[in-house]
Chain A
């Protein structure tokens, strides 16, 4: 749940979502749900030579289970807040 809360705070920001099949899509985070399904807007494929057919896509829905990494804007991370929240979650586990 921590990451769901965390990603919700990033809505409206620019992220890059890297899929487990190596496709990386950059875009504005439109929404995220409890399964970490991610909706992006104004998307563009990072490696356009490899995935030319994805050029046309302006918005997309990515299933949470196929996401490998989400790259965040540096100023989108409140390290103090994240430290504290992860510590809480670790204590609870």
Chain B
């Protein structure tokens, strides 16, 4: 998994980013006329923002070799920023997880316009649409996509065990605290005893429709006989 912001140049002929459609990546929103501000660097203007179900991509309109992307799993926080004292233009403000926990809190201070940009160290990104009325919509698309990209399950992590014993399931249904248990019950059904039952149910559902074919053949046979 790649943390942080990375260069992105993989465009199709019409200028749109080439997405990983084999893994169900799909385009959620296109926003033209968006500037991007990485860390404390100068704004880069005249680009198009592409929000996919996996990542945020900004592509320069003029320079086909220039573009940036960040996966939603690396977008720690996003917000609508409107106070001109904090930033001159209303924008989507994001904090980026670079995967480098040690200097995360101070790196934004050490960035400046003079130093060459190291994308992997950028911890803040602002997206400035020329049409600020679009900010709330973009914010909501970000929220939606963040939910589509939960944390990848780490192997070393102890797996959650959602299987409850039968008496606990009973206690949950009896429900002295139903509000807290009704969410757990679907998990119990799904994992503890759902799979086997489902498989056998599917088998039982297969309808033996042999007799329908027979009836049809007989009918056609009969009609043949009538013709004779």
The answer on a CB contact under 8 Å between B78 and A60 is yes
| B147, chain A: closest CB distance, angstroms | 6
In chain A, positions 59-79 with a C-beta closer than 8 Å to chain B are 59-66
- Measured as residues with beta carbon below 8 angstroms from the partner, the interface class of chain A is 35 or more
A57–B81 alpha-carbon span in the complex (Å): 5
A22–B77 alpha-carbon span in the complex (Å): 13
In chain A, positions 39-56 with a C-beta closer than 8 Å to chain B are 39, 43, 52-56
Task: Determine the main DSSP class of B at the interface with A.
Answer: mixed
A92 contacts which of B77, B165, B180 (Cβ < 8 Å)? B165
In chain B, positions 39-87 with a C-beta closer than 8 Å to chain A are 75-87
Chain B residue contacts of A58, Cβ below 8 A? 79-80, 82
Q: A60-B77, A63-B146 are in contact. Are A55 and B86 (CB under 8 A)?
A: yes
The answer on a CB contact under 8 Å between A35 and B168 is no
A64–B76 alpha-carbon span in the complex (Å): 8
Query: From A52, which residue of chain B is reached at the shortest CB distance?
Result: B86
Chain B residue contacts of A91, Cβ below 8 A? 165, 168
The answer on a CB contact under 8 Å between A88 and B168 is yes
* Stretch touching chain A among B93-101, B112-120, B201-209: B93-101
The answer on a CB contact under 8 Å between B183 and A53 is no
A2 contacts which of B86, B95, B180 (Cβ < 8 Å)? B180
